[in-house]
Structure 1
Amino acid sequence: MTKFQCSIAISLVLLQCLAVHVASQSFDFFYFVQQWPGSYCDTQQSCCYPTTGKPAADFGIHGLWPNYNDGSYPSNCDSSSPFNPSEVSDLKSSMQNSWPTLACPSGDGEQFWSHEWEKHGTCSESVLDQHAYFESALTLKQKVNLLQALKSAGITPGGSYSLKSIKDAITEAAGYTPWIECNKDSSGNYQIYQIYLCVDTSGSNLIECPMFPKGTCASEIEFPSF
């Protein structure tokens, strides 16, 4: 290989590496996803409470997920950046309260948070480091109190409500249109499971969703007690 050919080859490799890096770090918006614990637990697979005890009867954070406007999303963008509990030690109490794990077997939350950081958070590292990623999600949860928004509209756990009334209540409180994900309870009835709101690439500001995920809900859904 000539010196010129070697130089071209090196340049191509560098360009490929740069392209991979840019692709892994760029995204168009975040989905901020919160889940209702009553619906997580009221399924055939059930749930396990964290080792810290039963979570509050409130929506808990599932994740802050980078997405593209075409519906696809980046994932597992940086294997060299594993979850480090020491980087969020000052947030741990808030995370246990607002971002609890319900997976079995019971855990303290670190496995859940590690999964969220490594699959989703590493794809936003160009904007949010590990601490900022978790702190941003906690701050977003405080911006819109989903449970209070629903209760203010007369929508309380233990009842059945129209999907439209749930969307309208959250839209009024948040100022932006949510997307509602349903799952099915142990009897096969649709129930409110997760609520998606969209956030700009800074991880700070709610925005109208460029697009919604795909999924099925009934026009009337249950809001189970927890």
Structure 2
Amino acid sequence: MESKGSILIKLLLLLNISLVLCASQDFDFFYFVQQWPGSYCDTQKSCCYPTTGKPAADFSIHGLWPNYNDGSYPSNCDPNNPFQESEISDLTSSLQSNWPTLACPSSDGIDFWTHEWDKHGTCSESVLKQHDYFQAALSLKEKANLLKALTSAGIQPDGQSYSLSSIKGAIKDAIGFTPFIECNVDTSGNSQLYQVYLCVDTSGSNLIDCSVFPNGKCGSDIEFPSF
């Protein structure tokens, strides 16, 4: 017959194993999503510049989103770990430049970053704490310089139309991985380059080939609006 002490030790060991399993990474990859501000603003909904002023004419971060290989994704994983502005105080300036909000009414970006952390970031906190999560996104943007990739291939944000295949090809040639391109519709009803999805491993550090792409498609020719 086991002593109470040995039973207690076994229970504690089981509890520890359970906690480790719960804390393990529970997703297969990240989507790293960047958006073109000209396409965000050139819609019926329009946009509002952040309180810090008009962002640069460059792709900006939308989010770093944990995903599963079957196309589904986790969300709002830990309501007990809300966004803390103090955690990213050293990154605020860089976030305002690279991860600005264009939603109305104008704001400083805190609500946007709060939403992204609460919905997506908390689902990756077993591998990326809050500061690491935002730092990872900033580092990925530097690594995946989309505007440079496109302009180097002669694809300019000039309001002209370009073939979808040439846009994908330019990004793959520069970055090494095939992107998913999401389009939206401008005020005249034309399809335009809106968001670019790249896939990232579960460490949040390395670009990888995508195992699955989101739903949706663009036309064969799409506009690249100015901003």
SS of match in other structure, 2:181:
strand
CA distance in structure 1 between the aligned counterparts of 2:24 and 2:144, rounded to whole angstroms: 30
Post-superposition Cα deviations, 1:125-148, rounded to whole Å, max 9, x if no partner, equal 000000000000000000021001
What RMSD, in angstroms, separates the aligned Cα atoms of the two structures? 1.7
Alpha-carbon offset, residue 185 of structure 1: 0.4
SS at 1:30's partner residue?
strand
Alignment of 1:70-149 (within 5 A): 70-149=70-149
Q: Distance in 2 between matches of 1:140 and 1:51?
A: 25
Which residue in 2 is equivalent to 1:208? 209
Deviation sequence 1:55-98 (CA, Å, 0-9, x none): 00000000000000000000000000111010000000000000
For 2:219, the equivalent position in structure 1 comes to 218
- 1-structure distance, mates of 2:28, 2:59: 25
Q: 1:216, CA displacement in angstroms?
A: 2.1
Q: Distance in 1 between matches of 2:183 and 2:68?
A: 22
- The whole-number CA distance in structure 2 between the counterparts of 1:127 and 1:153 is 36
Contact 1:24 1:123 in 2 (8 A): no
Any stretches of 5+ residues in structure 2 without a counterpart?
Answer: 1-6
Equivalent-residue separation in structure 2 for 1:23 and 1:183 (angstroms): 37
Q: Which residues of structure 1 form unaligned runs of 5+?
A: 1-6
Alignment of 1:46-61 (within 5 A): 46-61=46-61
Report the Cα distance in structure 1 between the residues aligned to 2:210 and 2:186, rounded to whole angstroms. Answer: 28
CA contact (8 A) 1:157 1:224 kept: yes
Rounded Cα–Cα distance in structure 2 between residues aligned with 1:82 and 1:148:
35
Mapping of 1:33-72 within 5 angstroms? 33-72=33-72
d(CA) in 2 for partners of 1:24, 1:102: 34
SS in 2 for 1:214: coil
Alignment correspondent of 2:183: 182
What SS is found at the alignment partner of 2:137?
A: helix
| Paired residues of 1:31 and 1:197 also in contact (CA < 8 A) | yes
Q: Deviation above 4 Å: which 4+ runs of structure 1? A: none
Query: Quick one: which amino acid aligns to residue 166 of structure 1?
Result: I
**3-state SS of paired residue (2:74):** coil
Shift of 1:23: 9.0
The TM-score with structure 1 as length reference comes to 0.90
Partner in structure 1 of residue 3 of structure 2? none
Structure 1 letter corresponding to 2:147: L
Distance 2:24 2:116 in 1: 16
Query: What is the identity, as a one-letter code, of the residue corresponding to 2:172?
Result: T
Shift of 1:170: 0.2
Letter of the structure 1 residue corresponding to residue 213 of structure 2: F
Structure 1: distance between partners of 2:187 and 2:174:
31
The residue number in structure 2 matching 1:173 is: 174
SS of 1:76's equivalent? Answer: coil
The letter of the residue matching 1:155 is: I
SS in 2 for 1:95: helix
Aligned equivalent of 1:26: 26
SS in 1 for 2:113: helix
Aligned partners of 2:67 and 2:136: how far apart in 1? 16
Residue 134 of structure 1 aligns to which amino acid in structure 2? F
Give the secondary-structure state (helix, strand or coil) at the position aligned to 2:31. Answer: strand
Which amino acid counterpart does residue 130 of structure 1 have in structure 2? Q
Q: CA deviation at 1:22?
A: 3.5
- Contact conserved, 2:183 with 2:193, CA < 8 A, in 1? yes
The number of equivalent residue pairs is 212
